Structure 1
């Protein structure tokens, strides 16, 4: 579903297997569940395509295909993730809510729909301490319209920027997320799940430059598949996947380690995105599994 970036590589790799047929579908407009509890249907041509084929699996080929792949797999009664958490797995606020409800550390998060609402929120933050937040869309990906804000003016300007644009999938941003900024070292954990059983394939430690208002990844180093960092991160992520109802497919979860505690940054229900430049990556002590 919507193969792009590493999704195109996945299609090419799958096609090297004898006896395995791969069909691709690219949506005209990404199908999304905009509200918790909403149950819309994808575009009719996608339904026709899905029902005409004899598929064994439906796999997201990029972030824009995550919701549609889950919805179609459930519709065809194929291996899929729990449908009642469809919104939570794509919406950055929803995933934080579920993580927090399960006792997994997650950033304090608010949603605003206007500059005035942002100003009121910042006043509350200032009354409790220094402003140090992240502003970004609730449903985009990567670092799209992601801002580091350290005062009221920066927050209001960032919210204006987010609400005035469409996300990278072409959907108009009607909400902006204002989230507590988590410090510490950032990691990402890649997992493949089958039948609700999770296997960690690799873990990387990011080098991120946050001196400016936009985060910039400049390095990634693999982590050895043993030791307290790997084991504690894996435990957190596998628990998170259970909470989000993940039972099938690849996932890419980002989290930060500060003071010996893990905190969620975000979950993504597909393979890791753009391939990191070889010049930015070193094998470290670990290896892909």
Structure 2
């Protein structure tokens, strides 16, 4: 199946007819493509190829979708349209945004075999746009809103577990959001005030048994305090997968204990005061849980943002 991913900005336009046949949005393919792009760009300091779409200039990389991916094909800067795939080669090809785009937006442009191109939507694309084609992927997409300007991501160290880091199949990130923005306030989660959490009753961690390790690795602090266990089952009424709301609460509980421990420890001197924990510094009420991501077998690491004062 040929796949097209395109960073379309905020303007509307029409996808060229050549890309209206079997172009669908793909979250995982875009992720893999982004990694390949990053590796490709690291070998060259040349300017990015680009094209003009709906009056805006967009950098792109254009290559084959086959496993033996060839180097990117040149596209003249400022070209008025995307090249016809059939004019370059008969094999399926892919258009992918560069990893320098902060947001990748996806839109279902038709099932494989359908004809014609559709108008590109204005504004943000929602996960529901791809739900009919790839429901499991759509459930993992971030909400169609952006982070508030004063939010900053806490630069945690990524947890690694020996040489078997990539020897298993990672699960999709678990997202947490409200209708207004990505992420939920962890202070509210600790108080079980989760009425605004989107999909609060959705079952999470299905297929996992026992407990998972929640890895917290704040900058400047030792790693030996950063592992907490979270059960994958909810036994409140009957054995069932833990719900998104309960999972958020459990992460908040683990974070609260972690912060209490860190407040008694002096950071190692390698981190700025803005990442310190304790009285007068970061605290749980100005932290937001955005996602919980699989980092090794049985281990998940929360992505946490903090609202700057």
Q: Give the TM-score normalised by the residue count of structure 2.
A: 0.27
Higher normalized strand content (fraction of residues): 1
Higher normalized helix content (fraction of residues): 1
Q: Give the TM-score normalised by the residue count of structure 1.
A: 0.29
Structure showing greater Rg: 2
